[in-house]
Amino acid sequence: MRDTTADVRLAEILHGGPLEDITYFASETYLYSRKHGLTDRWLAMYDALPDVTPSSIDLESMVRIGTRDDVSEEQYQNILAAARTQIPWRKGPWSLFGVEIDSEWRSDMKWDRLLPHISPLAGRRVMDVGSGNAYHCYRAYGEGARFVLGVDPHPAYFFQYRLIQHYLRELPVFVVPVTLDQFPSKSAWFDTVFSMGVLYHRRSPFDHLFQLFESLRPGGELILETLVVDGEEGYALTPPDRYCRMHNVWFLPSVATTESWLRRCGFENIRTVDVNVTCQAEQRTTEWMPFQSLIDGLHPDNPALSIEGLPAPKRAITIANVPA
């Protein structure tokens, strides 16, 4: 297997540290061990991508890599075809040499809600758990982070990241297609950790919160975004079957319960900075994600309810710190 420039750089950055062993998960050897049927096809696609240097990169107000004028018509069509091969795009939006990828989620809206409330990311080591295709990883780097690691087990999202990374390969932004369960315990290495849209998929939310706690250095900051429901401290809804057509949703806590869970796991300085009802402007079907989306998970006669009759999606952003 060939190592990419990014694989080598990740190994150099992590060498001698508590996360040194995870470098293997970014290798093509590991990708092939996953036995994903499209691995050969997608790796060949990267080999065929045109080598173009973007005239400009914007990771602060959006994620824009180059412009249409940077590429020929043939190169543009090559990049467009590669991106379309990767449908569905869940997180974004992305602008790649004039290829405008209108993803299902307007992830920039979530980023804009949380950014004013978190500690400045300049100079920090950042991890995004459940990173998908690394959209928020690149936004974190755009805010000055010195190293960003995304963690997401889904190969399709990893390959989307590899498409983007082809043109941003010099940046210290990496994704490993694994779960946090595969990380060394108690690494205590990151300054900031994001966990957004993950907690409600975990059968044991406390195990997830403890893993997040142990990955942060003393004084480090957690940004937790999760589905919530109205209720007092101690209340959490467990869907009897599916929730908004999703089968892997286990716990929807109240905001007060979320904060109490964080306290129980040892976090301090806990504050919920945003509660937002998910709207169709933020999550919807597009040509880049042409399958079921938010509207299909809502009750057709009452959008305040899920199609199963449960409260419609509401998301909270809670920030907490590991004691210094």
Is 231 among the annotated ligand-binding positions?
no
Is 51 among the annotated ligand-binding positions?
no
Is 109 among the annotated ligand-binding positions?
no
Is 220 among the annotated ligand-binding positions?
no
Query: Which tokens belong to 284?
Result: 């919807």
Is 180 among the annotated ligand-binding positions?
yes
Is 24 among the annotated ligand-binding positions?
no
Is 196 among the annotated ligand-binding positions?
yes
Peptide bond into 323 cis (omega under 30): no
What b/e string do you get for 35-50 counting C-beta neighbours within 10 Å, with b at 16 or more?
Answer: ebeebeebbebeeeeb
Work out the angle at residue 250's Cα, subtended by the Cα atoms of residues 110 and 316, and round it to the nearest 5 degrees.
Answer: 25
Tell me how far apart the alpha carbons of residues 88 and 103 are, in angstroms, rounded to a whole number. Answer: 8
Is 243 among the annotated ligand-binding positions?
no
Q: CB burial class (10 A; 0-12, 13-18, 19+) of residue 133?
A: buried
Is 200 among the annotated ligand-binding positions?
yes
CA distance to 55, 60, 68, 135, per residue, from 64 (Å) = 11, 9, 11, 11
Binding residues for carboxy-S-adenosyl-L-methionine: 91, 105, 110, 130, 180-181, 196, 200, 315
Binding residues: 91, 105, 110, 130, 180-181, 196, 200, 315
